[in-house]
Structure 1
Amino acid sequence: MSKHNVRETALDILVSIEKNQSYSNLLLNKMIEKNNIKGKDIGLLTEMVYGSIQQRDLLDFYVEPFLKNKKKIELWVSILIRLSVYQMLFLDRVPERAIFFEAVEIAKKRGHKGISSMVNGVLRTIQREGVPSLNEILDPTKRLAIETSHPEWLVKRWVEQLGYEETKKMCEINLKPPVQTARVNISRTTVDELLQQLENDGYSVSKGDLSLDSIKSTSGNLVHSTAFKQGLLTIQDESSMLVARALGVSINEKVLDSCAAPGGKTTHIAELLNNTGQVISLDLHEHKVRLIDQQVERLQLSNVTTKALDSRKVKEHFVEESFDKILVDAPCSGFGVIRRKPDIKFAKKESDIENLARIQLSILQAVSPLLKKGGILVYSTCTIDREENTDIIEKFLSENKDFSYDHSIKERLPERVQPYIEDGQIQIFPQYFETDGFYIASLKKQV
């Protein structure tokens, strides 16, 4: 397959993301299959798509002075220029003449001669004159936002909550691609056995940094491994693996996972129960419940029951005080997983945080009566915003006097994260361990 087609596919994906708010990871997989992209071209396509999204605002800052009549330029043309400039500045192994030639060919094919001349002119002028300096932006928050391509409102919010230095570290790490990590299905194999099997199959793998049952792959996608098909592992970030551990489940317990799709934490809980007890796994959408079912089947777990249900309505379906442990892995803004899903930072608005916070609190209020006295409720999100994390827990505790912080969470989490645990809560930022950003709070119901 020619590189020209790879670039055209990248352009199609980027246009669809901007026009239709499509998810980059799903669209990428679909287009790789549809256009029959193979081998090294998959790597190039992935890098161009994710890189262009990750660096979007910086690229637009660089390109803007060279565009005349910006309002008249069609979306696909401005994205083609952005994609080409990304390759010029960030992909040193791609020769510039190839970038120019193929950008012009795509412009000819999709537009007309005028468009292809304009694209050629802009790219050659940028090559000749160089891009503008970020030092022109005097406000440090605005400069950081553009330099790391995060919305200015978001950077401002983080600076208020965390200070400038911590925010800068987080914005910078968000631009780095994550290492693939996986959770070993300890109900069927051990970490050492699985590492051996994967190495024999040609993967470059090692033990994870944070979680006891994690491994990381530095070469080869574990989704394509025999071990994955056999149900011996699950692709999951290491900070996400801490959530099931925080619950501290014991054999034969009955556990509710109230917002469970796509099933990573449900299946981890089921594995930690060693196929005993019962995990009731809920999600609002039927199609997402099917994703959980597929995981359960692949991992050969027999202790999971799934149901499509709005977890705010659990009282209609379950008896009060009928669960030993409850997990609320709440729907959230997802700002802890920007490295994996760069489109998140542009898809969300500040008002979304407020709306999500309302939903998060209402889920907690709805499921908490189902917990037995003396039981543990874990609340988690893959975001790093106080309004969705500590603020929610403080509000919940102020309204539910039969719950308190559970300080014993410290004993259940790995030594490396223990210094970050405070009052039964932990907030992990991506820069701490190069994992996703995650918040976990453990609460205990009074006896």
Structure 2
Amino acid sequence: MLLARWLEKNERADTLLESLPRTLAGVERGRCQSLLFGAIRHMGRIDAHLSALVERAPRPRLKAVLLVAGFELIEGGDEHHAARVVHHAVEQTKTLASAPEARLVNAVVRRLAAALAADNAPPALATAAQLAAWFSHPEWLVQRWLAQFSAAGTRAFLEWNQKPAPVLARWRLRARAPSDAELAWLAPTQWPEFYEVRPGHWAETGAAIADGRIYVQDASTRLAVGLLAPRPGERILDACAAPGGKSILIADMLAAAREAGDGAPARLVALDLPGPRIDRLRENLARAAAGVEVALVQADLAKAGRRLFADHNLPEEYDAVLLDAPCSNTGVMRHRVDVKWRLRTGDIEKHAKQQLALLDAAARRVAASGRLVYSTCSVDEVENERVVSAFLERAGARFELEKSVVAYPWLSGHDGAAAFLLRRK
């Protein structure tokens, strides 16, 4: 059971999903994801009730059954829904645990159903503790957001995080729009080239990914690459490239410019640390359109000196550098549902320290009059505005901030992200 593995071994939820057998597809796979993500998303609220209903903490396998049942109860249904949830939880326990534990589950889930039904949403001016309990977020994180985003903004953010995320895909064929047949499973959005994949069309989605018509990614990815504005004839470095979503977007923009009549060749270098995500990066770079030269370099940006680039026969400086830095992921909690349970007090400040070091390293690769875009998928000012301010203070007159954008999910309608365009003088 995936949720039991998550509770016991602290594996990432998205990694667990990838471990599902390929034979499990379509509706079954979608429901499995819904139950796993839903139980994790609402774990705080469910756990608070369970702690009052169960004297001793249940073992992971049993707790997983109770959490899934709690999520199904929160999902709601008709008047017989609670009875079906109880029955399903009991049957699951008989299979995964023991008969005595099944009897315990029967009693606990019945009482859990009543407790959740009696829950009341917190008032408009709720405390951090009330908001954290109802919306299943760590209280320290809610307090942090209240200080940054106000009560209304924080509540809107929490509500956003608790909703399942739609699947968005970018249409890669700029030479033609989706056909009527394709629009039967791709719903247009407010963002050009981005479409929502309608539920139940995973076969069409897989085929479209394989033949290069679409790439599954959130609309927030367009912000950083849009500020970078890559052009044919330029030397471009994606400095923290894995898993490659922004690299392939850069390559697609360069290919479209060439098709529009600018035949100047462009060179894209994608760099990242060796590790499990490199295979994904390599696979994505293989999808780059013909006519765009792409190179993959496995290295630590913070330690990458001139010799590294010379050894790979690559430029030491670039016209445009993108640094999509590792971060707290506070802007993408709708997709990465377990991030909020992994973060600890002080983690955001630790990320900011690493981000500033990476920004210094990326700046060394920018040619005279070149562009450097610093971006994160965080909405925390410590990782965004403060990192850029610290960098500019250290850089002196060598760089200036030309433009920036910070997208808050509850306002933008897509994942949270921040991007800052810096120009070397």
TM-score norm. by structure 2 comes to 0.89
After TM superposition, give the deviation of residue 19 of structure 1 in Å.
Answer: 2.0
1:80 is matched with 65
The letter for the 1-side match of 2:228 is: L
Provide the alpha-carbon RMSD of the alignment. Answer: 2.4
- Kindly indicate whether residue 284 of structure 2 is the aligned counterpart of residue 303 of structure 1: no
Secondary structure of the 1:282 match is strand
1:215 is matched with 195
Q: Tell whether the 8 Å contact from 2:4 to 2:63 is kept in structure 1 after alignment.
A: no
- Kindly indicate whether residue 394 of structure 2 is the aligned counterpart of residue 445 of structure 1: no
Q: 1:52-67 maps to which residues of 2 (within 5 A)?
A: 52-67=39-54
What is the rounded CA distance, in whole Å, between the counterparts of 1:427 and 1:340 in structure 2?
18
After TM superposition, give the deviation of residue 106 of structure 1 in Å.
Answer: 2.6
1:205 is matched with 186
What is the rounded CA distance, in whole Å, between the counterparts of 2:320 and 2:114 in structure 1?
63
The letter for the 1-side match of 2:357 is: S
What is the rounded CA distance, in whole Å, between the counterparts of 2:226 and 2:140 in structure 1?
34
1:333 is matched with 328
How many pairs align? 408
After TM superposition, give the deviation of residue 150 of structure 1 in Å.
Answer: 1.1
Q: Tell whether the 8 Å contact from 2:400 to 2:424 is kept in structure 1 after alignment.
A: no
1:395 is matched with 390
Q: Tell whether the 8 Å contact from 1:208 to 1:238 is kept in structure 2 after alignment.
A: no
What is the rounded CA distance, in whole Å, between the counterparts of 1:355 and 1:30 in structure 2?
31
Unaligned runs of 5+ residues in structure 1 are 1-11, 408-423
Q: Tell whether the 8 Å contact from 2:348 to 2:382 is kept in structure 1 after alignment.
A: yes
| CA offsets 1:179-214 (integer angstroms, 9 cap, x no match) | 22222325xx43xx3411xx425743243323x332
Secondary structure of the 1:159 match is helix
Secondary structure of the 2:364 match is helix
1:413 is matched with none
What is the rounded CA distance, in whole Å, between the counterparts of 1:361 and 1:21 in structure 2?
29
Change (3 A) 1:180 1:194: farther
Q: Tell whether the 8 Å contact from 2:241 to 2:270 is kept in structure 1 after alignment.
A: yes
Unaligned runs of 5+ residues in structure 2 are 259-264
| CA offsets 1:233-268 (integer angstroms, 9 cap, x no match) | 211111112211110122110011110001111111
Q: Tell whether the 8 Å contact from 2:244 to 2:284 is kept in structure 1 after alignment.
A: yes
Q: 1:13-412 maps to which residues of 2 (within 5 A)?
A: 13-33=2-22, 36-67=23-54, 69-71=55-57, 73-92=58-77, 95-127=81-113, 131=117, 133-134=119-120, 140-186=127-173, 189-190=174-175, 193-196=176-179, 199-201=180-182, 203-210=184-191, 212-219=192-199, 220-221=201-202, 224-274=205-255, 276-301=265-290, 302-316=292-306, 317-318=308-309, 322-407=317-402
After TM superposition, give the deviation of residue 402 of structure 1 in Å.
Answer: 3.1
Secondary structure of the 1:375 match is strand
After TM superposition, give the deviation of residue 222 of structure 1 in Å.
Answer: 7.6
After TM superposition, give the deviation of residue 335 of structure 1 in Å.
Answer: 1.0
- Kindly indicate whether residue 385 of structure 2 is the aligned counterpart of residue 433 of structure 1: no
Q: Tell whether the 8 Å contact from 2:171 to 2:213 is kept in structure 1 after alignment.
A: yes
After TM superposition, give the deviation of residue 46 of structure 1 in Å.
Answer: 1.9
| CA offsets 1:43-80 (integer angstroms, 9 cap, x no match) | 3222211111111111122333222x234x22222221
